Each structure stands twice: as C-alpha cells, then as structure tokens.
C-alpha cells in the first residue's frame, strides 16, 4: 500500500540508516594537502626539451601530457617543445597499423614490436582511438594490452589522447611522434581501429600503412571501406596458424586478386598481401623486411620525402581549420545564436542555409568590432 509522502519517509526499514552518525572523511586531508604541495612545478619548455634529448622517458611522458592539455599556457609550452624538438626528428620509420577490434592488433604489435626491438630499433607505440572521443571508453590503449612489450626498456607506449575532436586528437598524436623521435625512438607504430575516420588521420602521419584483416568471415572486406584498402601499403591476414592456415591462404589470394583492380599508388609501390601469425611468429620477419624495402624504394624515388612534406602542409591546414572551428564554436554570441537558429530550423521557421549565414554573420560582426 502506498503511504502518504510524509509518512513514507518516517517508515522504518531494516535498511534504514541512523541519522546523526557522520561518515569519516574518505581522504586523509593532511596527506592529500602534502602530496598536492609536493607536486612538482611545471618545467620550462627548455627543461622538457633537454629531458627529451637526454632520452628521459619520464620527461617525455610529461611533455606529451603538456601537448595533450587544452590549457592555453600548456598549449604555448607544448608548441615551444615541438618547435625545439623538430630539428632532431625525421630519421625514423613511421608505421600505421589498423584493423577492426579483434583482428589481433595488440597481439601483433606485441610480437612484431619485440621482433623490431630485437633487431636493434627503439620503438614508440602510439594510438588514435576514436571511441575515447565519443564515450570516454577506449578500444585501444587498455592497460592490460601489450604487457610484455611495455616492460621492454627500448619501448615507449602511449595510449590515445582522449579529449577533443578526432582532428585534435590526431594532431596531438602527430606532435607526440616528433617528441618520441627527438627522444631517440627511431620506429613508430601508430595504431588505430579500422571502423571510422581515424585511418585517414593515421595515414596522413605515417610512411607505411599496414591493414590487418581476418580470413574467411564471409564478407572478406569485413566492413572495411574501399578507401581504407586503397590506403594500405600491405594487407596482412592475421591468425594464420593451426586450422586457420588454409583459410588465410585463400583470403590472401582473394585479396591479391582484388588489389589488381585498385588504381596504382603514387609511391610506385605495389601493395602486398601476406598472411601472418602473432602466435607462431609467422611472417614477422617478412613484414619488417617489406617495410624496410618500401622505405629504401621510396627514399630512392623521393616519394618518402615528398609524402612527409605533403603531410606537413596537410597538418598546417588541418590545424588552422581546427582552431578556426574551436574559436567559432566557443564564441559566446555564436553559442547563443546557435541555440536559437537550431530551434528555428527544427520548427521549419527558416532554412538551414539562412540559419547558418545568420550565425556566421553574428560571428563576423563580433570579430569586426
Ligand atoms: P585487437 O582487438 O585487434 O587488439 O585484437 P587482440 O590482439 O586483442 O586479439 C583478439 C583475439 O585474437 C585474442 O583472443 C587473441 O588471443 C587472438 N589472437 C591474436 N593474434 C592471434 C594469432 O596470431 N593467432 C591466433 N590463433 N589468435 C590470435
């Protein structure tokens, strides 16, 4: 039976909490204040750069945190750090690795990464994870992934920056590449999930783009867009071990045939298809040799340099766009006007175009003052 409201609150229950007993504080205030005071002061850009050039991984991590921060003073310091690191960058191999969740990316990176470091390279693994942008959750960068690799002193692993738009996240990753290179990492893996726009972002910051695919799950293209296949310099069919070997070989032939119908690449490189297994270590050596062959070939025909230059201008424009967009959407009168115009559009009081121009007018009117 429903009780009247005032009586309801007085109703006794075995679960009722006695009033008047104060909860003890959940943090030790004194210790908290002490740790807060102990927190180091922020270093200057020079100090960060010195630490990076001395290959100090702790300073490198802290500098990346500055790059990822949206605080204006951090952004300024971040830009200075990037500028000062640039002269020490470039002599590296930047490899993009993509594939749908479950294809075996982290297992592959773990084993392939080991292979690469045992060949004497210093490896930084970065990620661009679009899921962290939308949900705060993350498909990549999970702490339990790549446990073995993270204990290798020649490896630096950094999960995806999480805040902001994909463009913003990707720009931060590109700047992180420079910091890692200045810190002595000559091999970069940039990982992403093959489900959205993030491959384009990764493609625009790497030298070689490796697409991981599963064999024989019916639709061989597995929802991977044609554009992503076109970007690939190689397709590796994963998990080619045990009962899966035959299926993987079949998929390899299918992909090789399919690639014939794709337009030739600007680099002059013929994209390759191979099978691999992170469990049996099949083709890890071949994949690394292939990447090196690609680098040699594209250095010789100048595509390598052309591509990196194009990427630099691409990121210049991208950064301008991002900044303009942020400046626009953060403008208080634009924000106010947008709410009104969105309502008007929803109520069919005005067209989308007219509404857009009115908001833009509001922005430029304020800018003109
Ligand atoms: P991700 O989501 O793309 O990072 O994929 P994971 O690396 O987490 O792998 C997904 C699942 O596939 C895990 O259960 C792995 O153990 C398994 N797996 C990954 N690589 C291989 C492989 O080379 N062979 C086999 N048989 N299984 C693998």
Q: How far apart are CA 154 and CA 148, in angstroms?
A: 12
Nearest residue (by CA) to ligand 1, atom 5, is: 104
Cα 148 to middle of ligand 1, angstroms? 15
Q: What is the pLDDT of residue 14?
A: 42
Provide the CA 228 distance to its chain's centre, in angstroms. 16
Q: Check pLDDT > 70 for residue 78.
A: yes
Asked if 228 and 98 touch (Cβ cutoff 8 Å), the reply is yes
Q: What is the DSSP string of 122-168?
A: -EEEEEE-HHHHHHS--SS--TTTTHHHHT-TTEEEEPPP-SS-HHH
Cα 60 to middle of ligand 1, angstroms? 30
Ligand 1: list residues with CB < 6 Å: 99, 101-107, 238-239, 241, 277-279
Among 100, 103, 104, name the best residue to mutate to test ligand 1's pocket (greatest count of ligand atoms within 8 A of Cβ). 104
Residue showing tokens 């690469």: 116
Nearest residue (by CA) to ligand 1, atom 6, is: 104
Q: What is the DSSP string of 287-320?
A: HHHHHHHHHHHHHHTSHHHHHHHHHHHHHHHHHH
Q: Check pLDDT > 60 for residue 38.
A: no
What is the average pLDDT score of the chain? 84
In the chain, alpha helices (H): 5-10, 29-38, 45-53, 57-68, 72-85, 105-118, 130-135, 147-150, 166-182, 198-203, 226-231, 245-259, 284-300, 303-330, 332-346, 352-368
User: Atom of ligand 1 at shortest distance to CA of 140?
Assistant: 4
pLDDT, tens only, 272-286? 999 999 999 999 999
Cα 220 to middle of ligand 1, angstroms? 18
pLDDT, tens only, 271-329? 999 999 999 999 999 999 999 999 999 999 999 999 999 999 999 998 898 889 889 99
Q: Do domains 41-87 and 89-301 have the same CATH topology?
A: no
User: Atom of ligand 1 at shortest distance to CA of 139?
Assistant: 2
Asked if 169 and 133 touch (Cβ cutoff 8 Å), the reply is yes
Share of the chain above pLDDT 70, in %: 79
Q: What is the pLDDT of residue 314?
A: 93
Asked if 59 and 65 touch (Cβ cutoff 8 Å), the reply is no
pLDDT, tens only, 145-183? 677 888 899 999 998 877 567 777 888 899 999 999 999
Q: How far apart are CA 289 and CA 94, in angstroms?
A: 14
Virtual torsion, Cα 355, 357, 363, 367, nearest 10 deg? -160
Show me where the domains of the chain are located: 41-87, 89-301, 331-368
Q: Read off the pLDDT band of 124 (50, 70, 90).
A: very high
The class that CATH gives domain 41-87 is mainly alpha
Cα 105 to middle of ligand 1, angstroms? 7
Mean pLDDT, to the nearest integer, of 122-141? 68
Q: How far apart are CA 90 and CA 179, in angstroms?
A: 11
Q: What is the pLDDT of residue 259?
A: 83
Superfamily of structural domain 89-301: P-loop containing nucleotide triphosphate hydrolases (3.40.50.300)
Of 40-49, 236-245, 346-355, which gets the smallest average pLDDT? 40-49
Q: Check pLDDT > 80 for residue 218.
A: no
Helices 45-53, 166-182: inter-axial angle, 10-degree rounding: 60
pLDDT, tens only, 333-354? 999 999 999 999 999 999 999 9
Nearest residue (by CA) to ligand 1, atom 20, is: 104
């Amino acid at each position: 039976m429903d009780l009247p409201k005032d009586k309801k609150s007085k109703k006794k229950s075995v679960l009722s909490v006695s009033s008047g007993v104060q909860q003890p504080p959940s943090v030790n205030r004194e210790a908290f204040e002490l740790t807060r005071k102990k927190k180091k002061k922020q270093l200057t850009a020079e100090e960060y750069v010195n630490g990076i050039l001395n290959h100090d991984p702790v300073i490198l991590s802290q500098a990346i945190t500055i790059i990822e921060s949206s605080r204006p003073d951090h952004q300024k310091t971040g830009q200075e750090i990037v500028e000062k690191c640039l002269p020490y960058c470039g002599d590296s191999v930047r490899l993009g690795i993509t594939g749908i969740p479950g294809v075996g990316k982290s297992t592959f990176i773990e084993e392939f990464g080991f292979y690469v470091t045992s060949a004497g390279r210093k490896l930084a693994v970065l990620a661009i994870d679009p899921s962290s942008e939308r949900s705060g959750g993350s498909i990549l960068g999970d702490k339990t992934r790549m446990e073995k690799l993270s204990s290798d002193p020649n490896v630096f692993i950094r999960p995806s920056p999480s805040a902001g738009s994909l463009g913003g996240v990707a720009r931060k990753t590109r700047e992180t590449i420079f910091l890692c290179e200045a810190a002595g990492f000559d091999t970069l893996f940039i990982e992403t999930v093959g489900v959205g726009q993030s491959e384009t972002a990764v493609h625009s910051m790497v030298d070689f783009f490796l697409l991981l695919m599963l064999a024989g799950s019916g639709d061989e293209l597995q929802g991977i867009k044609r554009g992503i296949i076109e970007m690939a310099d190689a397709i590796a069919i994963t998990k080619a071990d045990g009962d899966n070997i035959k299926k993987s070989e079949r998929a390899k032939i299918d992909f090789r045939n399919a690639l014939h119908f794709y337009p030739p690449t600007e680099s002059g490189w013929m994209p390759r298809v191979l099978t691999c297994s992170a469990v049996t270590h099949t083709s890890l050596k071949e994949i690394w040799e292939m990447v090196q062959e690609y680098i040699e070939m594209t250095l010789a025909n100048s595509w390598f340099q052309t591509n990196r230059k194009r990427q630099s201008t691409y990121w210049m424009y991208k950064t301008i766009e991002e900044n303009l967009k942020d400046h626009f959407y953060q403008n208080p009168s634009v924000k106010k006007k947008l709410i009104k115009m969105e309502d008007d559009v929803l109520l069919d009081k005005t067209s989308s175009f007219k509404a857009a121009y009115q908001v833009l007018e509001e922005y430029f009117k304020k800018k003109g003052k």
